[in-house]
């Protein structure tokens, strides 16, 4: 029996066998991300071309930091990301000056407008998730550099905690408004920080987890579809797999990270990924990407798995590789 996209994703999350593999990929459209209308139309064009099972609203990453006045230069080029020009946290004392911001004004209001446009234009069975970064990662990008922010963590923890509370209060309210405007959930990304290359487990439990959970709790409602994306290598998947989400996504191409089968042991929902977005998807042939998909299919048994990338894919990804993976999703379960 043919399932709707919503039913297919729900089956994967519950551990039931779907009619075919659920699949989604996501990417930036740098030249179209500076307005709600441009962003929404770029997302819709991508969805119309590939018919993904859910849409990750993939905004410009810097919208999170623009909320507190960080400024950026936009190239207008489809393959060049914005460049930061200025940042608000010049020294540790500026952490305490950050204020809770209105979640329906400025860059956040723009994102809510994009959610409204997309929910109106998307078929009802295509689940839509807005991208939100972890408060810890936002605080770091409001500072001069990651190294300096790590010094703040060690020397001025009370100031850092005050900033993290401010940021998490702002984005918890924003997450709630996203759902009210029609999003089915959020795509919550830890970025660089849930990695043992950046912090130890105790540090993340103090500075990361409480604020992550505040935002995720605000995005909870009946049948909410929330995803956790754990970026980078040497990640903390085992430590934070208990977050209240439906799906966890990470880069399985990194040898220091768990593979899909191992990751499933730590988590009851579905896992997403399996395709090397940095090399194979960009430089490989159709046969290469299908070989990776087949390997992932074997590792997962095509259960509790959504075929996808380890992170946002390159703007230079060949369309034929994405088309091949989309076709693979149609046929894989029948071949098992």
The CATH code of the domain that includes 163 is 3.20.20.210
The burial class, CB within 10 Å (0-12 / 13-18 / 19+), for 281 is buried
**pLDDT tens per residue, range 76-104:** 999 999 999 999 999 999 999 999 999 99
Q: Report the distance separating Cα 53 and Cα 126, nearest Å.
A: 6
In a domain, 316, yes or no: no
Spatial contact of 289 and 275, defined as CB atoms under 8 Å apart: yes
- Is 16 a member of any domain? no
How far apart are alpha carbons 67 and 231 in whole angstroms? 22
**Separation of alpha carbons 43 and 184, rounded Å:** 16
Query: Could you tell me the CA-to-CA distances from 150 to 207, 222, 299 in Å, in that order?
Result: 11, 37, 37
- Structural domain includes residue 322: no
Of 280, 326, 291, 277, the C-alpha closest to 306 is 326
Nearest 5°: the CA angle 300, 216, 100 is 150
Could you give the number of structural domains in the chain? 1
E strands, 134-269, are: 185-189, 227-230, 247-250
Q: Is residue 241 part of a domain?
A: yes
**What is the C-alpha to C-alpha distance for residues 92 and 152, in angstroms, rounded to an integer?**
6
Question: Residue 256: inside a domain, yes or no?
Answer: yes
Distance (Å, whole) CA 313 – CA 328: 18
CA distance 151 to 214: 24
pLDDT in the model for residue 198: 98
- Rounded to 5 degrees, what angle do the CA atoms 106, 191, 45 make? 60
Tell me the whole-structure pTM to 2 decimals: 0.97
**What are 12's two structure tokens?**
């994967």
Inside any domain, residue 332 = no
Burial category of 316 from C-beta neighbours within 10 Å (exposed 0-12, middle 13-18, buried 19 and up)? exposed
53-69 per-position pLDDT tens digit: 999 999 999 999 999 99
Q: What is the domain extent for residue 123?
A: 27-43+53-269
Q: What pLDDT does residue 205 have?
A: 98
Q: What is the pLDDT of residue 222?
A: 73
Q: Is residue 110 in a domain?
A: yes
In this prediction, residue 335 carries a pLDDT of: 53
pLDDT in tens, the chain (336 residues): 899 999 999 999 999 999 999 999 999 999 999 999 999 999 999 999 999 999 999 999 999 999 999 999 999 999 999 999 999 999 999 999 999 999 999 999 999 999 999 999 999 999 999 999 999 999 999 999 999 999 999 999 999 999 999 999 999 999 999 999 999 999 999 999 999 999 999 999 999 999 999 999 999 987 889 999 999 999 999 999 999 999 999 999 999 999 999 999 999 999 999 999 999 999 999 999 999 999 999 999 999 999 999 999 999 999 999 999 999 999 876 655
- Residue 265 domain flag: yes
């Amino acid at each position: 029996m043919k399932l709707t996209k919503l039913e297919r994703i729900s089956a994967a999350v519950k551990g039931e066998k779907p009619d075919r593999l659920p699949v989604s990929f996501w990417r930036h459209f740098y030249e179209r991300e500076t307005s709600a209308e441009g962003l929404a139309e770029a997302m819709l064009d991508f969805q119309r071309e590939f018919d993904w099972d859910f849409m990750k609203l993939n905004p410009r990453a810097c919208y999170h930091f623009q909320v507190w006045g960080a400024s950026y230069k936009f190239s207008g080029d489809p393959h060049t990301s914005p460049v930061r020009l200025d940042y608000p946290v010049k020294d540790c004392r500026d952490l305490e000056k950050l204020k809770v911001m209105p979640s329906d004004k400025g860059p956040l209001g723009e994102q809510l407008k994009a959610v409204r446009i997309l929910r109106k234009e998307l078929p009802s069975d295509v689940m839509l998730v807005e991208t939100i970064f972890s408060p810890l990662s936002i605080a770091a990008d409001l500072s001069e550099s990651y190294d300096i922010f790590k010094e703040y963590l060690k020397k001025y923890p009370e100031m850092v905690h005050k900033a993290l509370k401010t940021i998490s209060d702002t984005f918890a309210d924003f997450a709630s408004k996203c759902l009210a405007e029609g999003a089915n959930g959020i795509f919550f990304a830890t970025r660089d920080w849930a990695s043992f290359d950046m912090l130890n487990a105790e540090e993340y439990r103090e500075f990361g987890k409480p604020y992550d959970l505040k935002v995720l709790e605000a995005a909870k409602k009946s049948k909410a579809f929330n995803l956790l994306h754990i970026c980078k290598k040497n990640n903390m998947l085992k430590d934070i797999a208990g977050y209240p989400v439906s799906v966890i996504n990470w880069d399985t191409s990194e040898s220091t990270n768990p593979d899909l089968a191992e990751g499933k042991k730590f988590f009851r929902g579905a896992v997403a990924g399996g395709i090397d977005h940095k090399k194979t998807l960009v430089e490989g042939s159709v046969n290469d990407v299908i070989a990776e998909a087949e390997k992932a299919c074997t590792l997962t048994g095509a259960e509790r798995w959504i075929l996808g990338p380890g992170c946002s894919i390159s703007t230079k990804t060949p369309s034929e590789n994405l088309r091949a993976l989309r076709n693979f999703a149609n046929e894989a379960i029948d071949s098992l």
